[in-house]
Structure 1
Amino acid sequence: MDIRQLKYFLAIAEEGQITSAARKLQMAQPPLSQQLKLLEEELGVKLVERGPRSIQLTDAGIILRNRAQQILELTDSTAREISDYAKGLKGSLTIGTVSSSGATLLHEPLAAFHKRYSGVTFEIHEGNTFMIIDLLNKGIVEVGIIRTPFNTSNLECLYFHSEPMIAVMAADYDWAPSQSAAQLGELQDKPLIIYRRFEQLIRETCLEHGFEPQIFCMNDDARTTLLWANAGLGIGIVPKSAFELANHSNLIYKEILCETLRTRVAAVWMKDKYLSSLATKFIETFKSL
């Protein structure tokens, strides 16, 4: 099994037809079918079930598809890393980010880095904190921009300043228009829209303050929280710096006066692992701000 065979198999898995996969790969169908047969023989398992018009991956095929995606990503990442080393401060930098870090990343370190090293391009992988840490472990990204809390094992961390959570809402939900801040208890019995990443923190903090939060909507992206709140569906809870991430034309916010509900953006990278010159300079930009 080699990289070429994995590319062939991934094309078949993505297209669902050997004919379409061959067309995508710009090769004839019989050699592609032969490569699939050789791969199945080598692995000793059936990778696809052939139907009259399409193929379906077997359980073994699904496993190989997922691994092939990771291996090919890592191969590309390695090639870029070597290329970046040879080029010095030109090339492409691969970063993983969580959605709620966007405003902080764009307003400060990324702008400063781009000003200093305008020849560098970027490849961004987005996901939640746990997904970004997984991408770091697999070598698909070099630097992750994530939010606390997270497990710091095997990670080098560089933290931004601590920031509060805010309650964002349309005017109809504003129980005290003259107040720009709110005690946590004032959110009792309010329909809350929260980012799943902070569910445990919010739930435990509310319980410590004597009430069970009324969670109306739980989602996987701070931008979704803002959009739902902007539509007047409830009160969103997000980090303060995330307020600029989505349409908030109808929104006001109140800072939540609770020391437990604070978070920080952090730049993280793997301990004892080679960093390209680009990644090193990017981290140094964080340190200088």
Structure 2
Amino acid sequence: MELRVINYYLTVAREGSITKAAEVLHVTQPNLSRQLKQLEEELGTILFKRGNKKITLTNDGILFQQRANEIVSLISKTTHEFAHQKDSIGGTVSIGCVESIASRMLSEVLREFSERYPLVRYDLYSADGDDIREKLDKGIIDIGILLEPIETSKYNYIHLPYTETWGLVMRKDDPLAQRESIGLQEVSTLPLIPPRRMIVKNEISSWFGVTEDELHIFATHNLLTNASFLVEQKLGYAICVEGAHEIRGSKNTCFIPFSPTRTTGHVFAWRKSQMFNSATEMLIQYIRDNKKA
């Protein structure tokens, strides 16, 4: 399977038309169609449903599009790293970060680090912990800044000196919005919108002393934006850390912490036995020397 053909496929998937894709790629339509047919034969599956003027992806086609994007991203990252090998203080560091107070910490760290090493560039990725770990495992990103708890068997990590408080996001006109805190027993009876991460949902259930099935879960979220809209429509109460609300919360919602207080820490993690460029190695050492808890 050639990278050229993978790029052909991604262009067709993006344009939704072999004719338009051929124009973008500056190849003939018959040649492009033949390359795609050979790709399907190589994979042993059908990637497209072909219509008169438009094509749509099959389920296998959607899966291959996801994998193809990951392949192209990884090759681009690798090519860029080798292009900067001669410069020991250059290169690109790719970082995934959860949305929390760690987002502000990251911006401060990169400002300090870039003053020392101005040739280093950064690829930033915002997501929940599951997405970040998946990209760490595939080598698409180098470093992840994650909320605990995490599965630590696959990763080296540094505990960071930043703690988040858990609570509820609700409308400002909600009767509970006047509280300084809200008891866990009260929360367990409300319609909830917790984070989707299974390890986090399990921990939240343990706080309430019930199983997940016993909670009234309306929806789950990975980032707070869409959950905040559900809160505004009075569909539920979003569970999150305070820092996420500071970043993503709307003017119509507020954050009320749990009582008793529930907090969590952050880790700066990378995959064990992963080989890095010099810039990434130096950033890890900088965090170890200056930001370790």
- TM-score tier, shorter chain, comes to 0.7 to 0.9
Query: How does the TM-score come out when normalised to structure 2?
Result: 0.81
* Match in the other structure for 1:268: 269
**Partners of 2:10 and 2:269 in 1: CA distance:** 31
Q: How does 1:1-289 map to 2 (within 5 A)?
A: 1-43=1-43, 45-58=45-58, 60-100=60-100, 103-106=103-106, 108-160=108-160, 161-175=162-176, 177=178, 180-197=180-197, 198-207=200-209, 213-226=215-228, 228-229=230-231, 234-258=236-260, 261-287=262-288, 288-289=290-291
**8 Å Cα contact 1:168-1:253 kept in structure 2:** yes
Q: Kindly indicate whether the alpha-carbon contact (under 8 Å) linking 1:13 and 1:57 is maintained by their aligned counterparts in 2.
A: yes
Cα pair 2:171 2:177 within 8 Å, conserved: no
**Which segments of 5 or more consecutive residues in structure 1 lack a partner in the other structure?**
none
Asked if 2 retains the 8 angstrom alpha-carbon contact of 1:84 and 1:278, the reply is no
Q: Determine helix, strand or coil for the equivalent of 2:151.
A: coil
What is the root-mean-square deviation of aligned Cα atoms in Å? 3.1
Identity %: 31
Q: What SS does the aligned partner of 2:86 have? A: helix
Indicate conservation of the 8 Å contact 2:91/2:278, yes or no: no
Letter matched to residue 256 of structure 1: F
Contact 1:92 1:121 (C-alpha < 8 Å) held by counterparts: yes
**Which ranges of structure 2 fall in alignment gaps of 5 or more residues?**
none
1:251, distance to aligned residue in structure 2 (A): 4.4
- Write the distance in 1 (CA, Å) between the matches of 2:254 and 2:116: 36
What is the number of residues matched between the two proteins? Answer: 286
CA distance in 1, matches of 2:84, 2:192: 45
Distance 1:148 1:270 in 2: 16
CA–CA separation in structure 2 for the residues paired with 1:24 and 1:162: 49
CA distance in 1 between counterparts of 2:42 and 2:215 reads: 55
Structure 1 CA distance, aligned partners of 2:126 and 2:187? 30
TM-score by length of 1: 0.82
Q: Indicate conservation of the 8 Å contact 2:158/2:268, yes or no.
A: yes
